[in-house]
Amino acid sequence: MAEPPSLTQVETNGIERIPDAERTATPFDLFRLAFGGANTFSTCVLGAFPILFGLSFWQGLAATLLGVLAGALILCPMAIFGPVNGTNNAVSSSAHLGVHGRIVGSFLSLLTAVAFFSLAVWSSGDALVGGANRLFGMPRGTLSYAVAYAVFAGLVLVVCTYGFRFMLFVNKIAVVSATLLFLLGAVAFAGDFDPSYAGMGMTEDMFWPAFIGSALIVLSNPVSFGAFLGDWSRYIPASTPHRRVVAAAFLSQVATLVPFVFGLATASIIATKAPSYVDPAAQDFVGGLLAIAPQWFFLPVCLLALIGGMSTGTTALYGTGLDFSSVFPRLSRVQATVLVGTLAIVFIFLGRFGFDLVRSISTFATLIITCTVPWMVVMMLGLFTRRAWYDPEALQVFNRRQRGGRYWFAHGWNWRGMTAWWVAAVVGVLFTNIPGQFVGPLGDLAGGVDVSLPLSIGVAAVLFLVLLFAFPEPRAVYGPAGARLVPTADVEVPEITGKQEQPVGSAPEFARPQAGPHE
């Protein structure tokens, strides 16, 4: 196996299969990237929602534990696609949604990344400016915020341009330092923290909608990584046991209980000492945190803002550039990253200074997750029925502007997976009920309880399996070991035709279809 490239060597790999010799990452690297990307103020803000919804500290902690663990369980199988196929999850979805249907995953991940990148820059920029104001008297004017956002976004863009190794280096530092700073924060606020905080004393009718809504908002954080895990795990050798890769993804989300509980605990203190900052109509978690923090913690707040904003921003923007290059293969990963990063920076400034989008972006992100989860369900059921067997050449047909192959299905669309995805996504949006933010047309049918994700997961799973049984897929897509659980059809698979267009910056052809999972 080759030595890892230097940090200053710009990554040229795009969405083509990563050569085996370049796969030098480990499951622990995946852990650091996934955990580092969530170990920030953005996650603390999500952790504050149970208090905003009126729950007590212990009720909020139960909702947080439920959301993190359920989200981690939903997320972790998505890490397998990267090592198996050596490419990102959007390209891998060709096997289940079709050569053309894979653009669904690309655009879902694109929207998710821009939303969470914006949240990271906004929350970290606000914390940095607020901390500098309290510490050095720096004015909290438009210019200060603009400079902070520009510095964050520019640094993130530079790291993402260099690529995977530089991003991994940043997250190695972020995981340790941000965790230590959060633990230092626990010391800073220990004297004011009261675990008996009772919330707003809700009735049972009010409790369950608030509890479920809180758990689902927390759950959206781990689920948001579903489309991106393959961006990082594709550098893990294919021979790595799947259980280790899955465990790394799961534990990375369990570790996010550090920022989640920090946000929950400090929100309960803010609700007691500075309640105006947790008013759902004008919520300002960062401002409230600075208002109750001892003066010696202002510098750690600035450091948390810088470190957390960098790690979250890089994990989001790197995936954005990679997915954009997968939809437009004429653009290299670097070109796509610079283009999308520039557009995202423009969006950040318009949202912060031109429109009232800062609060609504959290609703936007939640709705994106509602549409992403059914896509993940189709992918995971497909992984199970295919015994984790895929044809690397057929996965690259779209990127090379070819036609045919095992995953051509009906003119490049696998209508079974596509139907299961869009029906479940529509059902999820219709039943969404986020108190004070967004209520779908059918959101009140469950007594105010948000049942959007459970319904979308159930609809996607049942409908996809029903379609696989009623309309079996071609035998050829299942590989030598055959299908698991579902029937197959003896259908001729069209040959791959058309001029092969090697993606910009890609490696030479080399791979054969991979066998089943490594136990």
Pick from 166, 476, 431: nearest CA to 313: 166
Q: How far apart are CA 66 and CA 455, in angstroms?
A: 17
What beta strand segments (E) does 413-519 contain? Answer: 433-434, 438-439, 473-474, 488-489
The two structure tokens encoding residue 105: 């995953």
Helix axis angle, 57-75 relative to 360-385, nearest 10°? Answer: 40
Q: How far apart are CA 29 and CA 209, in angstroms?
A: 38
| DSSP β-bridge partners for residue 473 | 488
Summarize pLDDT for 199-249 with one digit per residue, the tens: 887 777 778 888 988 898 899 889 888 888 888 899 999 999 999 999 999
Residue 341 has φ and ψ, to the nearest 5°, of: -60, -40
pLDDT value at residue 265: 95
Using CB atoms within 10 A of its CB, is residue 391 exposed (0-12), middle (13-18) or buried (19+)?
buried
Residue 392 has φ and ψ, to the nearest 5°, of: -60, -35
Highest mean pLDDT among 1-15, 27-41, 489-503: 27-41
pLDDT value at residue 305: 77
Highest mean pLDDT among 6-20, 49-63, 315-329, 361-375: 49-63
Summarize pLDDT for 131-146 with one digit per residue, the tens: 888 878 888 888 888 8
Is residue 376, in this structure, part of any structural domain at all? no
Pick from 178, 77, 159, 99: nearest CA to 388: 77
Say how many domains are in the chain: 1
Residues 6+ apart with CB under 8 A from 437: 359, 360, 362, 363, 366
Give buried/exposed letters for 366-378 (b at 16+ CB in 10 A, else e): bbbbbbbbbbbbb
- Amino acid symbol at 362: S
pLDDT at 445 over 50: yes
Summarize pLDDT for 380-405 with one digit per residue, the tens: 999 999 999 999 999 999 888 889 99
Residues 433/213, Cβ–Cβ less than 8 Å: yes
pLDDT at 457 over 90: yes
What percentage of the chain reaches a pLDDT higher than 90? 38
**What's the rounded mean pLDDT across residues 257-261?**
95
Is residue 431, in this structure, part of any structural domain at all? no
**Which structural domain, as residue segments, surrounds residue 214?**
21-358
Q: How far is the CA of 48 from the CAs of 134, 205, 304, in angstroms?
A: 22, 21, 17
| DSSP β-bridge partners for residue 147 | none
Rg for the chain (alpha carbons), in Å? 23
pLDDT at 507 over 50: no
Mean pLDDT, the chain, whole residue set:
84
pLDDT value at residue 295: 86
Residues 359/283, Cβ–Cβ less than 8 Å: yes
pLDDT value at residue 501: 53
Residues 181/303, Cβ–Cβ less than 8 Å: yes
pLDDT value at residue 504: 42
pLDDT value at residue 319: 67
Summarize pLDDT for 270-295 with one digit per residue, the tens: 999 988 887 766 667 778 888 898 98
Helix axis angle, 204-223 relative to 57-75, nearest 10°? Answer: 40
Q: How far apart are CA 11 and CA 21, in angstroms?
A: 15
pLDDT at 323 over 50: yes
Q: How far apart are CA 375 and CA 384, in angstroms?
A: 14
The two structure tokens encoding residue 37: 């990307």
pLDDT at 168 over 80: no
Euclidean distance between the first and the last CA atom of the chain, given in angstroms as a whole number: 22
Residues 50/59, Cβ–Cβ less than 8 Å: yes
The domain spanning residue 195 has which CATH number?
Answer: 1.10.4160.10
Is residue 397, in this structure, part of any structural domain at all? no
pTM of the model: 0.85
pLDDT at 502 over 60: no
Q: How far apart are CA 433 and CA 481, in angstroms?
A: 44
Q: How far apart are CA 451 and CA 443, in angstroms?
A: 8
pLDDT value at residue 515: 41
Is residue 324, in this structure, part of any structural domain at all? yes
pLDDT at 455 over 50: yes
pLDDT value at residue 4: 58
Summarize pLDDT for 9-50 with one digit per residue, the tens: 655 666 788 888 889 899 999 998 889 888 887 788 889 889
pLDDT value at residue 471: 97
Better-predicted residue by pLDDT, 79 or 332: 79
pLDDT value at residue 513: 41
362: confidence class by pLDDT, cuts 50, 70, 90: low
Is residue 334, in this structure, part of any structural domain at all? yes
59: confidence class by pLDDT, cuts 50, 70, 90: very high
Pick from 395, 397, 306: nearest CA to 121: 306
Range with lowest mean pLDDT among 96-100, 311-315, 456-460? 311-315
pLDDT at 476 over 90: yes
Q: How far apart are CA 370 and CA 471, in angstroms?
A: 27
Is residue 169, in this structure, part of any structural domain at all? yes
* Residue in the block written with tokens 């490696």: 507
| DSSP β-bridge partners for residue 20 | none
Half-sphere exposure of 155 (CA within 13 A, CB side): 19
Residues 6+ apart with CB under 8 A from 2: 21, 22, 24
Pairing between strand 433-434 and 438-439?
A: antiparallel
pLDDT value at residue 342: 79
Pick from 278, 286, 284: nearest CA to 308: 286
Is residue 15, in this structure, part of any structural domain at all? no
Using CB atoms within 10 A of its CB, is residue 441 exposed (0-12), middle (13-18) or buried (19+)?
exposed
Residues 434/217, Cβ–Cβ less than 8 Å: yes
Q: How far is the CA of 453 from the CAs of 47, 116, 372, in angstroms?
A: 19, 19, 10
Highest mean pLDDT among 48-52, 160-164, 316-320: 48-52
Q: How far apart are CA 21 and CA 98, in angstroms?
A: 29
pLDDT value at residue 6: 58
pLDDT at 356 over 60: no
Is residue 231, in this structure, part of any structural domain at all? yes
pLDDT value at residue 278: 76
Summarize pLDDT for 172-211 with one digit per residue, the tens: 777 888 888 899 999 999 999 999 998 887 777 778 888 9
**What's the rounded mean pLDDT across residues 499-514?**
45
pLDDT at 7 over 70: no
